[in-house]
Amino acid sequence: MQQNLSKEGYTVITAEKGMEGLELFTEEQPDIVLLDIHLPDISGINVLEGIRKENPNAVVIMVTAFGDIETAVTTIKFGAFDFVEKPFNLEKLKLLIAKAVETCSLRREVSQFRSQLSIKYGFSNIIGKSGQMQKILELTKKVAKSDATTILLQGESGTGKDLIAKVIHYESRRASKPFIDINCTALPETLIESELFGYEKGAFTDAKLMKKGLFELADGGTIFLDEIGDMKLSTQAKLLKIIENKTFKRISGVKDISVDLRVVASTNKNLAEEVKKQNFREDLYYRLKVIPIFLPLLRDRSDDILPLANFFIDGFNREFKKDVKGLSEETEKAFLKYPWPGNIRELKNVIERAMILENEEYILPEHLPGEFSSGELISANMVNTPVTIPPGGFDIEEMEKNLIKQALEQTKWNQTRAAKLLNLTRDALRYRMQKFGFLQEKN
């Protein structure tokens, strides 16, 4: 073997005994090991276990005596890549080694990729100076290290649900296992079950082969059910069963398949409301809500705005090879006043845009999109001609209607900006629009 494989260009080192082999393995860290089962000192299976512990990416090919197939099959369970029988066929061995080389570089790539992800999704990448975020960080740390299996993340769009879900995974003992992200909105009703649970061969006309579902593929890791509020009631029932029993069946399967999973669900809907409206199962809601994490709006944690902005500037400096120093003082003020309807995602996009389009040392107000330049908010008693109620009385509703109409016209019916002009929340504006009949008018 040594001669033949050296001729092929491989560097080959050999050991005559099991212990010696293990020591050599630790010193030399080879990519591929050819390992006999019957060794003079310890069993090849023990050596295999030692190697797997030292480096799970190493590819081990067992070498067995003719007729010892049963033992060889057992070694596969212990993590051997494949086996060759003695006396071996050289051509087959070369092919097997070529395959092993490929597997080895794939394994290396995967583990590199995983470690990059765990750097990207570590606790240090969650920025949050505000009291609310400090509490959430503390909770996230506890939850990541715990064995808690269901976590519910709630918060409006762009508040960081995805990020927190990934950090919980990559900071847990599950980090080396899959993180499977399922967008419940994007999955069509007809596919959801076969995607989640898999199916047996012949389950339906197109099912030519058995297919594992995402729940099975995520075994040992984390399933992230994004936008769970959009999941159909029938699927919710099945999901609840999996969470409770930790087992399920493939479509048209009889065997119960058990999985070790953590389920992280997220939604930007108010699930309690959805339960009341009977769009969401109450039992599933309570099951998910064992550990609830609620992400506040960015405007309600304004202490985080500037640290987040600087964090994104650092990131884009690296990405775009720029050297932007920060926000100008004026920009800081504008950032702190702006209501951030798109939350952290909007903040990140505003910074990205400014850094792509502009080349100044600091991000200036003129680098920001139009929403920022609407000027100072004026409170009613600063208006030049405050209204004095005439003796005959004054219709306050008429004035309100007039102001709402003006704000809508000035902003070309952009409700977010119109609400901002009037220092109202978007909901409060919409309520008034409804009241004065502007909603119907617009539609």
Ligand X SMILES: Nc1ncnc2c1ncn2[C@@H]1O[C@H](COP(=O)(O)OP(=O)(O)OP(=O)(O)O)[C@@H](O)[C@H]1O
Residues forming the site for ligand X (CB under 6 A):
126-128, 155, 157-163, 268, 308, 311, 344-345, 348
Residue 158, sorted as left (phi over 0), alpha (psi -120 to 50) or beta, turns out to be left
Best CA proximity match to 262, nearest among 288, 213, 223 = 223
DSSP 386: P
Q: Which of Mg ion, ligand X, none does residue 127 bind to, with CB < 5 to 8 Å depending on kind? A: ligand X
Partner whose binding site includes residue 160, from Mg ion, ligand X, none (CB under 5 to 8 Å by kind): ligand X
Considering CB under 5 A, how many residues would be counted as binding Mg ion? 2
Where in 151-170 is the site for Mg ion (CB under 5 A)? 161-162
- Could you say which residues in the range 160-219 bind Mg ion, by CB under 5 A? 161-162
Cα–Cα distances (Å) from 171 to 7, 222, 311, in that order, read 45, 12, 20
Half-sphere exposure at residue 85, Cβ-oriented, CA atoms within 13 angstroms: 7
Residue 128 binds: one of Mg ion, ligand X, none (C-beta under 5 to 8 A by kind):
ligand X
Write the CB contacts of 39 (distance below 8 Å, at least 6 apart in sequence): 17, 18, 21, 47
Q: Which long-range contacts (CB under 8 A, 24 or more apart) does 232-238 make?
A: 232/189, 232/192, 233/279, 233/280, 233/281, 235/189, 235/192, 235/193, 235/196, 236/280, 236/281, 236/284, 237/281, 237/284, 238/193, 238/196, 238/197
Cα separation, 139 vs 300, whole angstroms: 19
Q: Which does 1 bind (CB under 5 to 8 A by kind): Mg ion, ligand X, none?
A: none
Decide which of Mg ion, ligand X, none touches 268; Cβ closer than 5 to 8 Å per partner kind.
ligand X
Strand boundaries in 146-217, DSSP class E: 150-154, 179-183, 198-199, 211-212
Distance CA 280, CA 232 (A): 8
Minimum gap (Å) between residue 158 Cβ and ligand X? 5
Nearest to ligand X of 15, 163 (CB atom): 163
Q: Is 400 in the site for Mg ion (CB under 5 A)?
A: no
Q: Of the two residues 51 and 165, which places its CB atom closer to Mg ion in the complex?
A: 165
**Nearest to ligand X of 21, 155 (CB atom):** 155
User: Residue 96 or 127: which CB sits closer to ligand X?
Assistant: 127
CB of 230 vs Mg ion, minimal distance in Å: 12
Distances, alpha carbon 187 to alpha carbons 91, 161, 368, in Å: 47, 19, 36
Distance of closest approach, residue 169 Cβ to ligand X, in angstroms: 13
Residue 341 binds which entry of Mg ion, ligand X, none, CB below 5-8 Å type-dependent: none
Residue 158 touches which of Mg ion, ligand X, none (Cβ within 5-8 Å per kind):
ligand X
Residue number, nearest CB to Mg ion: 162
265-294: contacts with Mg ion (CB under 5 A): none
**209 vs 150: CA distance, rounded Å:** 32
CB of 273 vs ligand X, minimal distance in Å: 17
Q: Which lies closer to ligand X via its Cβ, residue 62 or residue 165?
A: 165
Residue with smaller CB distance to ligand X, 44 or 128: 128
> Rule CB under 5 A: which of 103-162 touch Mg ion?
161-162
Q: How far apart are CA 60 and CA 82, in angstroms?
A: 7
Of 1 and 117, nearer to ligand X (C-beta) is 117
Q: Is 387 helix (H, G, I), strand (E, B) or coil?
A: coil
Amino acid at 331: T
Contact 421, 376 (CB under 8 A): no
Smallest distance, Å, CB 117 to Mg ion?
17
Identify what 46 binds: Mg ion, ligand X, none; CB under 5 to 8 Å per kind.
Answer: none
**Least distance from C-beta 162 to Mg ion, angstroms?**
4
- Pick the closer one to ligand X by CB: 281 or 348: 348
In angstroms, give the least distance from the CB of 163 to ligand X. Answer: 4
- Rounded CA-CA distance 57/363 in Å is 46
- 351: partner contacted, choices Mg ion, ligand X, none (Cβ within 5-8 A by kind): none
Nearer to ligand X, 83 or 179 (CB): 179
Nearest distance in Å: CB 187, Mg ion: 15
- With CB atoms as reference, the residue minimizing the distance to ligand X is 160
Q: Which is nearer to ligand X, 181 or 332 (CB)?
A: 181
Query: Are 63 and 83 contacting, i.e. CB atoms less than 8 angstroms apart?
Result: yes
Length of the chain: 443
- Helices 329-337 & 305-320 angle (0-180, nearest 10): 120
Shortest Å, Cβ 227 to ligand X: 7
How many C-alpha atoms does 220 have within 13 Å on its Cβ side? 6
Terminus-to-terminus CA distance in the chain, angstroms? 79
Question: Closest separation between CB of residue 130 and ligand X, Å?
Answer: 10
Cβ 267 to ligand X, closest distance in Å? 8
- Interface contacts to Mg ion, rule CB under 5 A: 161-162
